[in-house]
Amino acid sequence: MKKVLIATNHLQYGDGVCRTLISFANLLSEIEGYEVTISFMLRFDKALLPLFNKNIKIQRAFSIPCFKGWDRLMSCLPGKFLYNKVSKKEKYDIEIGYCWRNPTIAISNSTNKEAKHIIITHGQNPGKEYYVKNDAMLACSTYNMNYFGEMIEHKIPIYRFSNVFDEKSIIEQSNIEPSLKKNKDRFLFITVGRLTIEKGLDRMERAIKRLFDEGYDFDVWHVGEGKDRKLLEDFIQENNLGNRVKLVGSQSNPFNFMKQADCFVCPSLFEGYSTTCVESCILEVPFISTDISGASDIAEESKAGKVFPNTEDGIYEGMKYVLNHPEELKKWKNNLKETSKVFYKENRKKILLEILNKIDTL
């Protein structure tokens, strides 16, 4: 039995890294011969517990409650002290720092010389002095692999391992009767995510206005909620887009909305790895995306999407492309009948085990 320690920051709803951790930890715990412990350092929402496999042990690194500024203060503590807190001085065979800052600092200062040490990254963070102390890194995209490879001068191996998805749950939820139904006579674009500027929705609204002014006829659903909702509402109202563009709010089940779309749009300024693009592929809905980390990987693997420049013009050109090329969209949808399986959990499990076996021989 191989004992695995995963050090992480938060276990809370609304945290994208936490959602990827749940899927990753569950997948790892389903591989025969692996025993998983998660040690969290900051906030914890007990309502998340049912989402973890029952054989996963979850522990709090620090006994004191989290307070504002605690994460910054924690990073000033000695690295070995942080490691002792997350490990509880137990011996593990594999120790993983899941995400930047405190988890990375802790695992990079491990005193367990027998363990293999791995850092899993999702963004483009500094920390070369910590990364190179480990045996390997896992990056979620080719872009991130190249970024970190250059940063650390290829001193340790970096493997690409993208986020894990429970396709059965996604497909099951997509089959639930939706509260809003598509107009079958009109093309439907959809986005899913926070209504915030960094998600690029203000750029997308301007692109939508340009397309309507040119005579294109289609609908748009924005699934999600966020602090910039009022800005979007005002733009939609001022430009008379309300009969075509809907802000449908946050949905506990976005998948029965996504499934109805003709094309998914990711207009973000930046992402670590676009979870929603993969979810659309699993639901056999083609996508277009701005040129963010991971988008090209997803397009290449799915053969059902296209990446455009990360600008308002890029979003405009992307939407216009699929509206003008229905034959291409049909080909993409047909491709997804097979390529969607690339993103299934069993395939990810096989890739992860291959990576762990390679790291074990280092």
Q: What is the pLDDT of residues 259-281, one digit of tens each?
A: 999 999 999 998 888 889 999 99
pLDDT averaged over every residue in the chain: 95
Could you tell me what percent of the chain has a pLDDT over 90?
85
Whether residue 240 is predicted with pLDDT greater than 70 in this model: the reply is: yes
One fold for 2-164+345-360 and 168-342: yes
Paired with 40 in beta bridges are: 8, 60
Question: Is the CB of residue 9 less than 8 Å from the CB of residue 99?
Answer: yes
Would you state the pLDDT for residue 243? 92
Global pTM reads 0.88
CATH of domain 168-342: 3.40.50.2000
Cβ-based burial of 238 (10 A; exposed 0-12, middle 13-18, buried ≥19): exposed
Whether residue 283 is predicted with pLDDT greater than 90 in this model: the reply is: yes
Question: Is the CB of residue 86 less than 8 Å from the CB of residue 7?
Answer: yes
Number of other residues whose CB lies within 10 A of the CB of residue 93: 16
Distance, in Å, from the CA atom of 124 to the CA atom of 105, rounded to the nearest integer, reads: 16
Number of other residues whose CB lies within 10 A of the CB of residue 71: 16
Distance, in Å, from the CA atom of 245 to the CA atom of 226, rounded to the nearest integer, reads: 17
Q: What DSSP line would sit under 114-183, residue for residue?
A: TSEEEEEESS----HHHHTTSSEEEESSHHHHHHHHHHTTT-S-EEE-PPP--HHHHHHHHTSPPSS---
Any idea where the domains of the chain sit in the sequence? 2-164+345-360, 168-342
Q: What is the pLDDT of residues 293-351, one digit of tens each?
A: 999 999 999 999 999 999 999 999 999 999 999 999 999 999 999 999 999 999 999 99
Distance, in Å, from the CA atom of 258 to the CA atom of 170, rounded to the nearest integer, reads: 10
Q: What is the pLDDT of residues 179-210, one digit of tens each?
A: 999 999 999 999 999 999 999 999 999 999 99
Q: What is the pLDDT of residues 159-186, one digit of tens each?
A: 999 999 989 999 999 999 999 999 999 9
Distance, in Å, from the CA atom of 322 to the CA atom of 319, rounded to the nearest integer, reads: 6
Would you state the pLDDT for residue 303? 98
Tokens of 5: 């320690």
Distance, in Å, from the CA atom of 356 to the CA atom of 159, rounded to the nearest integer, reads: 10
Q: What is the pLDDT of residues 146-155, one digit of tens each?
A: 999 999 999 9
Domain 2-164+345-360: top CATH class: alpha beta
Residue with more model confidence, 73 or 4: 4
Q: What is the CA radius of gyration of the chain?
A: 21
What band does 69 get if pLDDT is binned at 50, 70 and 90?
Answer: confident
What band does 14 get if pLDDT is binned at 50, 70 and 90?
Answer: low
Could you tell me what percent of the chain has a pLDDT over 70?
99
SS3 of 190-218: EEECCCCHHHCHHHHHHHHHHHHHCCCCE
Start-to-end C-alpha separation, the chain: 19
Distance, in Å, from the CA atom of 189 to the CA atom of 258, rounded to the nearest integer, reads: 9
Crossing angle of helices 16-29 and 275-282, rounded to 10°: 60
Whether residue 15 is predicted with pLDDT greater than 70 in this model: the reply is: no
Residues composing the chain: 362
Whether residue 360 is predicted with pLDDT greater than 80 in this model: the reply is: yes
